[in-house]
Amino acid sequence: MCSRGCNPGYSISSSPLTNPGRLSLTVSVIRYDSPSGRPRKGVCSALLADAPTATIFPVLVRPAEHFGPPADTATPMIMVGPGTGIAPFLGFLDHRRARGDHAPNWLFFGEQHQATDFYYQDELASLRRDGILTDLDLAFSRDQRTKIYVQDRMRQQGAKLWSWLKNGARLYVCGDATRMAKDVDRALREIIAQHGNLSPADAGAYVKQLSIDKRYVRDVY
């Protein structure tokens, strides 16, 4: 992504159909103090944030195989993207709007506080008004005594999520691989077992088949 020794990957949060000459990224700037009190920062995120306007950085664009909006304009789409994991789904939704897709689209988004961490709130509201984003479930973990995450919202909407999957929906997950992706995968298996009346083993086989069919795809890091 950038020079000076950093080589992170960022998901593109725009569509070439809406603005062919522009590529957008969603970057969370990392700054913190180490246990010893020494200031630390993300090499690339801080570099991008602190660079003067119009600074040019070399970039390499690499396709993420199978991680894109459905080719079939009628295929429902479920997206799970907490934090900066929301990035590609802004591009997916813009792409579907530009193509005139008529399929329903459902986003699960989460962060810590709604007042300060509701990324793309205006853009999502616009997509809702236009009927592109048909369903939106939010999980702001620190806004109540009991922490709530996207996987909790998925469980709450388990029957509906199972119905979408039975109707051919594709499920996308983007974001943290360390905990979030594992928690979401666990919730998905529980939902399929409960609402599909399947054993844990059969639910696992169902999830495996979703992956094989490229109906359950992840971009996690």
CATH code, domain carrying 192: 3.40.50.80
The pLDDT of residue 6 is above 60:
no
**Which domain covers residue 151, as residue numbers?**
77-220
What single letter denotes the amino acid at residue 123?
E
Mean pLDDT for 7-33 is 87
Is residue 112 over pLDDT 50?
A: yes
- Given this model, what pLDDT does residue 208 score? 98
pLDDT tens-digit profile of 41-86? 988 889 999 999 999 988 888 888 889 999 999 999 999 999 999 9
Asked whether residue 213 is assigned to any structural domain, the reply reads: yes
Q: Is residue 170 part of a domain?
A: yes
Does the residue 137 lie in any domain?
A: yes
Q: Is 84 within a domain?
A: yes
- Stretch 28-47: mean pLDDT, rounded? 90
Range 83-95 average pLDDT: 96
Q: Is the pLDDT reported for residue 2 higher than 90?
A: no
Q: Is residue 124 part of a domain?
A: yes
Mean pLDDT of 159-174: 98
Task: Kindly report the average pLDDT of the chain as a whole number.
Answer: 93
Mean pLDDT value of segment 104-121 = 97
Mean of pLDDT values over 196-209:
98
d(CA 98, CA 17): 6
The verdict on residue 66 lying in a domain is no
Task: Indicate the number of domains in the chain.
Answer: 1
* 3 state SS of 1: coil
**Per-residue buried b or exposed e for 38-64, using 16+ beta carbons within 10 Å of the residue's own CB:** eeeebebbbbbeeeeeeeeeeeeeeee
Q: Per the domain annotation, does 82 fall within a domain? A: yes
pLDDT at 117 over 60: yes
Q: Would the pLDDT of 1 be above 60?
A: no
**70, 104 Cβ separation under 8 angstroms:** no
Residue 39 located in a structural domain: no
Residues near 195 by beta carbon (within 8 Å), at least 6 away in sequence: 158, 159, 161, 162
